[in-house]
Every structure is written in structure tokens, then in C-alpha cells.
Amino acid sequence: MATETAHAPQTNFNVSNEKMGMWAFLGSELLFFGAFITVYLIYVPRTADGPGPEVFDIPFTSVSTFILLMSSLAMVLALAGIQDRDLRRFRTWTLATALMGLVFLGGQLYEFTVFVQQDGLGLTTSAFSTAFYVLTSFHKVHVAIGVLMLGTLWFMSFTGRIRADGHGTNAVENVGLYWHFVDIIWIVIFTIVYLIPVDLAT
Amino acid sequence: MSAVEDRQGGSNLFRRPSSTAGVRGWLTTTDHKRIGIMYFVAAMIFFMVAGIEALLLRLQLATPEAQVLDSDIYSQMFTMHGVTMIFFALMPLSAAFFNYLLPLMIGARDVAFPRLNALSLWVFIAGGIFLYSAIFFGGYPDTSWVNYAPIQEVGADPAGYTLESGAQSNRMLFYSLGIQIAGVASLASAVNFITTILNMRAPGMTFMRMPVFVWMTLVVSFLMLFAMPIIGVALWQLMFDAGYEGNFFRPGAGGEPILWQHLFWLFGHPEVYILILPAFGIISEILPTFSRKPLFGYAAIVFSGVAIGFLGFGVWAHHMFTSGLGPVANAAFGLTTMFIAVPTGIKIFNWLGTMWFGTLRYRVPMMFAIGLVAMFTIGGLSGVTHAIVPHNAQQHETYYVVAHFHYVLFGGSVFGLFAGTYYWFPKVFGRMYNERLGQAHFWLQLIGFNLAFGPQHILGLEGMPRRYYTYPPGMGWDLWNLVSTIGGFIIALAVLLFVINLIWSARKGPAAPEDPWDARTVEWMTSSPPPQHNWDVVPTISHRDELWHRKYTDEEVPRPVPAGASPDHEASAGAEEDIHLPDPSWWPLVLAAGMPIASWGVVVDSWWLIGAGIVVMLFAGVAWGNEPATEPEHDEQPGTLQP
Ligand code: HEM
Ligand SMILES: [Cu+2]
């Protein structure tokens, strides 16, 4: 560790380049989702006589939202694990985070099939449906990439790129940042896309 | 132990390249200087392709009712001309300068993420190849680079609609995905340059000591960071509309065509500053050097640049005055647009102040820089006339607008980028360009440019609409159209001289010293061309215009400083062994290749191909993550690994 910091290039802000880059990237992502959410809000009433927000199943989505929220907690524990130089704890919680992410994805996909098959809300039904599916699918892609990164972290703990001496903590921290961000975005989507429109529609 | 073997086993498939020689060395390089050179070459090729397209347009318009291009081809050509110039010529040309110069100007050895940097380059090239492959799938996009809805659905010529079914949606998919890919490249560079500037400045290089070019790079990077996702969203939406029958911009099922315009210009106006600010940064380096005076009003230039960055997001609707936003919105956006002219004007006055009473040396870079100040001002003034809403209604969609944006883009960005090319040529190649050929280039370009675009002001005010493939005789437009075409060919000749000069001088030009211009900033302290690690000793910065202060005293009539006054050696003595350069890597190239593959999959509607592209990207991504940026030294113990 001592030699590692001695070799690490000094940065002007005492923040690692990777972390600074991740923050910048997330700033950009904020506009990405911001634009999609805005478009969705404009299109909520444009259902073209097809189904509208009343098809959303709030209790079900609340459960998957809760699971995603808990995965953020697991992520925190995974980071704490590696910071405490405890590789086993790190591995367990990393896997747990990834698994919860997968459960969330599964729940979302199930939800989609219900909307399509039972409620007749297809991608091409209306401006509302297109905006809904595309926005939430992009969020899912982000979760999936997160799961993949978590898997890579887990794998790296076996190849020696993440070690009990704390080597590689930086990577864990950055994946954590990303994961929390994706989680927060989902909270916003859940509120704005699901809760409020349903409230207005019923 | 077996874990270590695993790792080495895994990389056998694509063994990490260790040599920097030959073609393979260039394909796998992570050296910001090589990446910069490749950016420049690729962007110049696109620039010439787009130039040939422009010449075709001008041939068609040279005389009334000409038969050079039919309406369909004409529409494809002006669309590809605009798209190529903006996304594949000017933005990457700026990126070439950022790449090459940024680390040198802030005293770093490379950018923050060298492999990400290589990724930007390959992604941009992959995007260009993808876009131009549209010729094999039913033709190029044809509804202009702004590509308004709902015309994007039906094509440029709905009346004479002869395209086989699906061709129009293919054209839109190429527009959407081609620009999307280019956008990924810009986004990656933005993250990279922001981190590099904020984090990797040499000791003593405070923000207010940074060269203006570095400042402008920072502003442009933030503009890209926040503008690219917006066009990204619009392009994804277009992809879903064109490829999967989505309803984002289709009025039939509740979509809102005007939404496209909002998203496009919310990106589009910041984009024009993305295009011009690098050129502003470049001439802010050149003018002081060739005036032998410090930049007049450094802080004003920096902060007006930052102000432009912020205001740039608040003026987009000035492109939409005639779309029926209503008088309140029109008045508001008219006002903000007038405001944004103020910081730009400040810059112009500061440049004039820099030259005022300076000891001017009229070398080629300086002439192009002065050319920019003059030509851009004309474009800026016609821009202010657009901001007057009633006036705008007269000018919108006429050649007056075409004249405007060519005065700012060509008279501004291109003059600035060419100035920079001549200025830093000796640094990059260690040889001088040919001064006489360069002067000839300048005068030809200045004359050709004004002949080509000056008369378009008149044509526009006389009512000639843009994006029409022909016009009847007797409208009074014949003469100026002919003049404009002649001007276009003179520009082509000028650019030809430029390219000849570059190629010839890079091989045969006389050797250039480290600091041929008696310049002011630290990139001129290292050898020409710089070694791979840029500096043997990273300079310690104690002044703005550091190099000048090392060479001359601060007196009214500066005298040379005795040699050996540099503080660098003590500050970082013994640092030399610590130089860790990023190793070459295949993964950026492989990852970039996945993007067009997946995009072709969208076009031919094959989930297999889409999947294949995604697998390539994921595979490269994971391999990338498992490969350290810098391999450990062979004789080092694992405990001393670079993070
Ligand atoms: C850096 C150089 C240039 C840039 C950045 C540039 C950019 C553009 C852009 C953005 C458009 C609008 C395309 C659209 O709305 O779809 C355009 C149109 C056009 N440009 Fe350029 N251009 C450049 C150089 C030239 C040159 C050298 C010529 C002539 C020789 C030229 C001739 C034209 C013509 C004829 C049009 C079509 C106008 C119309 O039909 O509406 N451009 N250019
Ligand atoms: Cu604008």
C-alpha cells in the first residue's frame, strides 16, 4: 500500500482520475435521463385512446424498487468490506448487490410482459407507451451494465486485481458510485413515471 | 497462484502489444500525440469528402435549372455535407488539437485516460465508416443535418416519392446511429479532457495561469458533456421511430414533431460554441506570440468564454422563431441571443487590444488568426440580425442563413484551425512548413471564401431559399450564384495547397528548432517533435506565459534572462525513473468496432447482428477492465503495482 501511493501520480484535486471521470460521466447521464423523463412527462396524456398510466401496478413496482434500494445498501457493505481488507465480505456483498440487481431486472421484465399481453400496451401503441418503454428500458440497460461491472469486480478479486491489501479499492468505489446513481435515477423514475401519473389518472 | 496464471492465460487471445512500431503500433497506441495526429488525418479526409460534396452542390446551383444532380441526390449531398462537416470534420479537428496539445500545455505526460482517448478516436472513425456505408442500404440521409420532424419520416421529396419502401427509414437510421456513434466519441473525450485539465496540471499551473486554449478546451468539454446526451436522446428516439415504429415524433399517435426541434437545438446551439471556441483558444495563443505582447485582458477572455458556455444553453429557440412559439417566447429568446453576442464581442476587442501597438509579424498562422477576427465578425454581425425576430422571419431558410453560418464556421472555426495547424506544425513534425505556399493558401482562401459566401447574403435577402435543388432563370439570382460557385472552387484550390504543403513539409521541410516562434507557453520548451514521455523533467510553473518569463525579464523593454534560471531540476530531481507511460492496447479498437456492427444490425433488422455487436463491445469492455492501464515493470514485485 505504501509503495502503491508512492507510485500513484499526484492529482491537483487529490481525487483519483477515475473518480473525477466517473463524476463527470454521471453529470452527463443526468441530462440523458433528464431529457427522457421530460419527454415522458409531455407524453403522459398522449395515449391515443390506448391504455394510460392506470395500468401500472404500484404495489408490484414498489417491491422491485425496494429491492433495488436494498442493493445500494449491499453495495455500501461491499465497499466497507474491501476497505476493511476483508475479501470474503467484499465478495459476498458484491454478489448480493448483483443478484438484487438481477431480481429487479427480472421484475421489470415480468412487468413489461403483463403490460403488453394483458393490458395491450405495446411499444407502438401511443406516444405515451413509446416514451414509457424507451425510458424504462434505458434504465434497465444501465442496471444490466452495472450488474456486469459488479460481476467483473467479483472476478477481479480472484485474479489479483482486487486484493486483500486494499489494491483495487478505487475500482470498487467507482462502480459503487455508478450503482448508487442508477439507483437514485430509478427513485426519480418511480416517483415521476409511476406514482404521480397514476395518482392523477385515478 | 493459479489466479495469476488465469490472468496471463486470458490475455493470450489478444496478447497485449508491447511494441510501438509499424501499423500495429499505431492501431494500438495510447500516446496522445499519435492519437492527435490520427484524429487530424482522419478529420482532414472527412473534410475533403464534405468539400467535394459542397462542390457538387455548387455546380448544380451555378446556373438556373442545371442538371448536375437531381433533387434526391442533391438532398442527400447537402445533408451529408452538413453532417460530415460538423460531426466528422470540425469536431474531430478540434479534438486533434486538444489531444496533441492539452497535455503539453499543462505540463502532463499524457491525458488522464489514455485508452479512453484511443477509444474516442476509433469510435469516431467507426461512426464515419458506418454513416458512409449508407450508400449500400438505399442512400444517404436526405433531410438536412437538422432533420426536422415530420419530414424525416417521409423524406425530402414526398411528391416525387420513388424510393422503395423502407429506404427512407434506413436513411434515418444511418443519420441517427451514425451521429450517435460520433456522439459517444465526443462524450468520452469530454470526460477525459475535463479530468485531465482539473487533475493533471504541472506543479504551479493554477487555473489563472492556464493558457487560454486550455481554458477553451475545458469549456468545450463541459459543453460536450452536457449537450451530447441531449442529442443522444433525440437520436435514440428517432431510431425507435424509424426502425421500430415508435411514436416520438409521429403526430398520428400523439407524438409531437416540434419536440425534435427543441431537443435538436437545445443541443445545437451549444454545439456551435463547441465548434468555435477551440478556434478562439487557438488564436488567443497565436495573436500574443506574433504581436510580442501578452494577451490583452486574459481574465476577460477566459470569463467571457465561460459565460458563453452557460448562456449557450439558454438561446436555442432562436432557431425556431418561425415555428409559432408565440411572441413572449420569441421576445425572450431574441433578448438572450443579443446577450450572448456581448461576451463574443468582448473577445474580439481583446484580440484587437492584443495587436494594438504590438510588434506584428505576418507569418501564416498570424494571417489566418487575423483572418478569423475579421471574417468571424461579419458572421457575428449577421447573427445579431437573426436575433431581431421580425427580421428573422424574412431571413429564415434563405441563403442569408447559409451565408451567416459559413462566415462563422468557415471564416471562424476553419480559419482558426488552419492557423493552429501552421502554428504547431513545427512542434509536431520537427520541420517548418513552406511559408510562401502558406501565404498563397491564405490569400486564395480569403478571396475564395468571400466570393463563395459573401454573395449569398444578397441572394438570401433577394429571397432565394436554401435546400432547393434548382431555381428558375429570371429571378435575378444567376450572377451571384455563379460567383459563389467560382468562389467555392477557389477554396478547393486553396485547401489543395494546404494539403500539399503539409505532406511535403512533414517529409522535406527544413528542420525546426524547439521554439521557432519565440513563443510564450510551455509546449515550446520540449523538443520538436516531443519525446514520447513529453518531458524529461516536468516543468514547474510560476507565471502565466511561463516560457516567456523564463526567456525575458519583466522590464518595459524585455531583456533575455540568463540561461539556467529554470527551477524544474531541483523540484523534481530523481523523478525520471518514475515515468510510467500507458501501454498500448487492442481493446479500444475492438470495442469501437462493435458499434457499427450492432448498428448495421438495426438497419437490416437482424437481432443476431445486433447481438454480435453487443457481444464484441462487452467482451472488449470486460477485457479492458481486466487489463491494467500500465503493465507492471518486469523486474518489479507485485507489491509495487501501479493502480
Ligand atoms: C468548414 C467548412 C464548412 C462547414 C462547417 C459547412 C457547414 C454547412 C452546414 C451545417 C450546412 C447546412 C446543411 C443543412 O442544413 O442540411 C451547409 C450547407 C451548404 N454548404 Fe457548407 N460548410 C462548409 C464549407 C462549405 C464550402 C467550402 C462550400 C462551397 C464551396 C459550402 C457550400 C454549401 C452549400 C451549397 C450548402 C447547401 C445549402 C442549401 O442548399 O441549403 N460549404 N454547410
Ligand atoms: Cu443558435
CATH code for the domain of B613: 1.20.210.10
pLDDT for residue B560: 73
Shortest-distance atom of ligand 1 to CA B79: 16
Which of B285, B235, B267 is CA-nearest to residue B102?
Answer: B285
Long-range contacts from B355-361, C-beta under 8 angstroms, 24+ separation? B355/B287, B355/B291, B355/B293, B356/B296, B357/B293, B358/B290, B358/B291, B358/B292, B358/B293, B359/B291, B359/B292, B359/B293, B360/B290, B360/B291, B361/B290, B361/B292
Rg, C-alpha atoms of chain B: 25
CA dist B143 to B53, B133, B586, Å? 15, 17, 37
Which residues of chain B does A142 touch, with a Cβ-Cβ cutoff of 8 Å? none
- For ligand 1, atom 10, the nearest C-alpha belongs to B82
pLDDT for residue B218: 97
The verdict on the CB of residue B85 being under 6 Å from ligand 1 is: yes
Which of B102, B88, B264, B55 is CA-nearest to residue B181?
Answer: B88
How is residue B404 annotated by DSSP? Answer: H
In chain A, how long is the greatest CA-to-CA distance? 67
Q: All 3 cell numbers of residue B308?
A: 458563453
Which residues of chain A does B10 touch, with a Cβ-Cβ cutoff of 8 Å? 159
Q: How far apart are CA B416 and CA B440, in angstroms?
A: 17
Q: Residues A62-202: name the CATH superfamily.
A: Cytochrome c oxidase, subunit III, four-helix bundle (1.20.120.80)
Please tell me the number of the ligand nearest to residue B469's CA: 1
Residues B12, B14, B20, CA angle at the centre, nearest 5°? 115
Which of B100, B25, B104, B6 is CA-nearest to residue B583?
Answer: B25
Domain coverage including residue B306: 2-7+30-566+580-634
β-pair partners for B465:
B398
Q: How far apart are CA B209 and CA B115, in angstroms?
A: 28
Q: Domains in chain B: how many in total?
A: 1
The verdict on the CB of residue B491 being under 6 Å from ligand 1 is: yes
pLDDT along chain B (643 residues), means of 10: 37 62 88 96 98 97 94 94 97 97 93 94 97 93 91 69 68 95 97 95 93 97 97 96 90 90 96 97 97 94 94 94 93 94 94 95 97 96 94 95 97 97 96 96 98 97 94 94 97 97 96 93 93 88 89 76 51 51 89 97 94 96 81 46 37
CB contact under 8 A, B245 and A32: no
The verdict on the CB of residue B488 being under 6 Å from ligand 1 is: yes
Instruction: Give a yes or no: residue B304 inside a domain.
Output: yes
Shortest-distance atom of ligand 1 to CA B485: 30
Residue A95 pLDDT exceeds 90:
yes
Q: Write the ipTM.
A: 0.94
**Is A4 an interface residue toward B (CB < 8 Å)?**
yes
**Is A158 an interface residue toward B (CB < 8 Å)?**
yes
Q: How far apart are CA B241 and CA B168, in angstroms?
A: 12
Range of weakest confidence among A11-20, A65-74, B570-579: B570-579
How is residue A92 annotated by DSSP? Answer: H
SS3 B511: strand
Beta carbons of B186 and B228 less than 8 angstroms apart: yes
- For ligand 1, atom 1, the nearest C-alpha belongs to B410
Q: How far apart are CA B99 and CA B97, in angstroms?
A: 5
- For ligand 1, atom 34, the nearest C-alpha belongs to B54
Beta carbons of B600 and B552 less than 8 angstroms apart: no
Q: All 3 cell numbers of residue A139?
A: 434504465
**Is A42 an interface residue toward B (CB < 8 Å)?**
yes
Among A28, A36, A161, beta carbon nearest to B226: A28
Which of B89, B68, B116, B6 is CA-nearest to residue B410?
Answer: B89
Count CB-CB contacts under 10 A for residue B634: 5
Report helix, strand and coil shares of chain B as percent, to nearest 5: 70, 0, 30
Please tell me the number of the ligand nearest to residue B48's CA: 1
Q: All 3 cell numbers of residue A89?
A: 465480505
pLDDT for residue B525: 92
Which residues of chain B does A128 touch, with a Cβ-Cβ cutoff of 8 Å? 254
- For ligand 1, atom 43, the nearest C-alpha belongs to B82
Q: How far apart are CA A58 and CA A71, in angstroms?
A: 20
Q: How far apart are CA B102 and CA B195, in angstroms?
A: 12
Phi, psi for A130 (deg, rounded to 5):
-60, -45
Bond preceding residue B529 cis, omega within 30 of 0 = yes
Beta carbons of A29 and A127 less than 8 angstroms apart: no
pLDDT for residue B569: 47
Instruction: Give a yes or no: residue B140 inside a domain.
Output: yes
Q: Where along chain A do its domains lie?
A: 62-202
Band (A147; pLDDT cuts 50, 70, 90): very high
